Chains A and B, each alone.
Chain A
Amino acid sequence: MLRFLVNRILQGCVLILIVSMIGFAVINLAPGGPLSQYAMTPGMSQADLDRIAHQMGLDRPLPVQYLDWLGNMLTGDWGRSYRDQSPVLDVVWRHLGATLLLMGTSTAIAIALGTMVGVLGALKRYSIFDYMATVGAMIALSIPTFWFGLVAIFIFSLELGWLPAGSMYTVGDQSLGDYLIHLIMPSLVLALVNVAIWSRYMRTATLDVMHQDFVRTARAKGLPRWRIVSAHIVRNALIPMITLAGLQLPTIIGGALVTETVFTWPGLGRLFIDSLGYNDYPVIMGLLMFSAILTVIGNFLADIGVAFADPRIRLG
């Protein structure tokens, strides 16, 4: 167990280091750069630009810039946003809550609903419900999220006027009910595609398990059907889903990108898009690192979870 921990932490560090190098290189190779916004300012001379570049440290060779950034990051200084000079960690922290609220709600809906739809579809294979779930999942997977978002806004906000079209709260209200009302549409739209994915995987996993010998043994024991389904079929079918859930963790950043934009949700996805637009290198790098760390943590938690759920698996 200790060896497993040490191993995984070392592996994770190496992975994050490699991601940081690639990320840093790619961002700096892209055309534009933080200075391009100043270049458009009237009266800005090349000398002025050079002076700004020197102040920001951008005139140094790339490896030196990288090592400087890396050293600072390891000591907890992730740099400052070019946009408003606030520390990157603060900027990420400010947007994290909104994203967690949205992603957490939508993931909970997706897992609960997806598990039910998948298990029912497998138990009643080739039934009308199963066909409807299959077709529904195909539709949800093939139509882009922003389209669903826009259609939902059109119907429920513009036509019916039931739900707010965007943002996380009404300025001046901010009660719990107000948050919930704002949460309904984006979290459901975001959950839609995840319900589709999750239910497909769950259906396959359930079909795999329900034809195994131990399910027959459970029936031969004269157990009631609900017990066979819960303790024997679903209990085993959920094991591979733990890994899938672990892989969902890093999508906190990228997963809600489109949805947050459509619903003007002040989360990390929108921060990422905005930062790209501004060439805000420190924030982009910060989000990239954050995402890499979440990937490592997500995988780690999934492995622990699987070992916990399946006694045949030993960590090591």
Chain B
Amino acid sequence: MSDPILSVRNLTIRFKGDGRETQVVHGVDFDIHPGETLALVGESGSGKSVTSFALMRLLPEAPRCRIDGQIRMGGTDLLALTEPQMAAYRGPRIAMIFQEPLTSLNPVHRVGDQIAEAIRFHRKMDRTAIRARVLELLRMVGIPDPERRMMAYPHEMSGGMRQRVVIAMALALEPELLIADEPTTALDVTVQAQILDLLRDLQKRTGMAMLFITHDFGVVAEIAERVMVMYSGRIVEEGSLGAVLERPRMPYTSGLLASVPRFEDAGQSKGPLGTIEGFVPSPDKLPAGCSFHPRCPQFRPGLCDQRMPELLPHGRPAHPVRCLRAPDLSLVPEVPA
């Protein structure tokens, strides 16, 4: 495989507040290769969004938040950059789209100006060239009548249209990596599908890599090639889309998969949808041993509550899992695909 465009090593994130420190991400490692789509999946509170914000260095400043480890991009450790140096990476190298299209745009500026702004501060281009590029971008993300729409204010557009504007803004400088933090969660299902199609299509055209953050395995199946599952600030399973979806090795992953309704099952009585009992533990009250053990159907006392398992291949090098019971478990989704 080619060299990764982004390598994350031992990424550790701690927040400080009220005199105590809470660690929310515990030594995360992963690589993203050119042109691939990597999905980062997990429930709310698993640390997936915090991880993605750390890659853009959008987390609060030093005393309130401590980030350790390395985020390497083309030989540079992003965590070692000064803020102005990092600003030069945001846009042309890494760009990001967000969960809330309704609030991600500044309400008092025209959308065309907001896209132009993303170009203006990185490239020396004159007004006409920037305007042409903005129109091209709006067309590319499928906004009809771009000459008129670029003059609109965000509140004059629907959620789907606004998300397209945010995408156009992120793609303005043809980044090598696009981080998409639940970009479809706030949208209607039909609009969701359109946006996923658009992102897939744009990726094909530009060859950018994509880190797709989501809690929805339905979306993962639509867009990802590789999947990482995150729980309580750690990666607990990693593998190709097919491997993870069809032969999950971590009880948490199979639990998540069992909770996704399937179209094929419609009208058949397969019983209620699967659920995972309990909640993601609060980061400052992680249980001893494997952090998933209190909710795990495969929990074995004396083993799982004793030590935190490593992320290990257990015989399948391309599909490591963080589970002490991996050697004696061979999990398939409770509802076969």
| Chain A residues engaging chain B, CB cutoff 8 angstroms | 212-214, 216-225, 227, 231-232, 235-236, 239, 309-312
Contact = CB atoms under 8 A, between A and B. Distances in A.
B104 A217 contact: yes
Given A221-B169, A236-B108, A212 B121 contact: no
Nearest to B91: A222
Contacts of A213: 98, 100, 103-104
B263 to A, nearest CB: 33
Contacts of A227: 117, 121
Nearest to B166: A217
Given A214-B107, A222-B90, A222-B121, A311 B169 contact: no
A223 B104 contact: no
Contacts of B88: 222
Given A213-B100, A214-B103, A225-B83, A219 B90 contact: yes
A295 B224 CA distance: 61
16 contacts: A213-B98, A214-B106, A216-B58, A217-B104, A218-B117, A219-B90, A220-B95, A221-B90, A221-B95, A221-B117, A221-B121, A221-B169, A222-B89, A222-B121, A224-B121, A311-B107
B244 to A, nearest CB: 29
B108 A216 contact: no
B153 A312 contact: yes
B90 A236 contact: no
Nearest to A236: B108
A218 B122 CA distance: 13
Nearest to B83: A225
Contacts of A312: 107, 153, 155
Nearest to A220: B96
Nearest to B96: A220
Interface in B83-129: 83-84, 87-92, 95-96, 98, 100, 103-109, 117-118, 121-122
Interface in B140-192: 153, 155, 166, 169-170
A137 B307 CA distance: 55
B213 interface: no
A308 to B, nearest CB: 11
A222 B84 CA distance: 9
B56 interface: yes
A243 to B, nearest CB: 16
Contacts of A224: 84, 87, 121
Nearest to A217: B104
Contacts of A235: 106, 108
Residue of B118, B122, B153 with most partner-chain A CB within 10 A? B118
B169 A217 contact: yes
Given A214-B105, A214-B106, A311-B108, A220 B100 contact: no
Given A213-B103, A222-B90, A222-B118, 9 more contacts: A214-B107, A219-B90, A220-B58, A220-B96, A223-B121, A224-B87, A231-B109, A309-B108, A311-B153
B151 to A, nearest CB: 11
A221 to B, nearest CB: 4
A220 B56 contact: yes
A223 B169 CA distance: 12
A136 to B, nearest CB: 24
Interface string B64-91: 0000000000000000000110011111
Contacts of B105: 214, 217
Nearest to B87: A222
A132 to B, nearest CB: 19
Nearest to A225: B83
B251 to A, nearest CB: 35
A222 B108 contact: no
Contacts of A223: 87, 117-118, 121
Residue of A220, A224, A225 with most partner-chain B CB within 10 A? A220
A238 to B, nearest CB: 10
Contact of A232 (B89, B106, B121): B106
A263 to B, nearest CB: 40
A227 B113 CA distance: 13
Contacts of B153: 311-312
A310 B108 CA distance: 6
Interface in B212-261: none
Contacts of B100: 213
Contacts of A222: 87-92, 118, 121-122
Residue of A214, A227, A236 with most partner-chain B CB within 10 A? A214
B321 to A, nearest CB: 33
Contacts of B83: 225
A217 B104 CA distance: 6
Contacts of A236: 106-108
Residue of A217, A223, A311 with most partner-chain B CB within 10 A? A217
Contacts of A239: 108
Nearest to A212: B103
A252 to B, nearest CB: 30
Contacts of B87: 219, 222-225
A232 B104 CA distance: 12
Residue of B56, B58, B104 with most partner-chain A CB within 10 A? B104
Residue of B56, B96, B107, B108 with most partner-chain A CB within 10 A? B108
Nearest to A233: B106
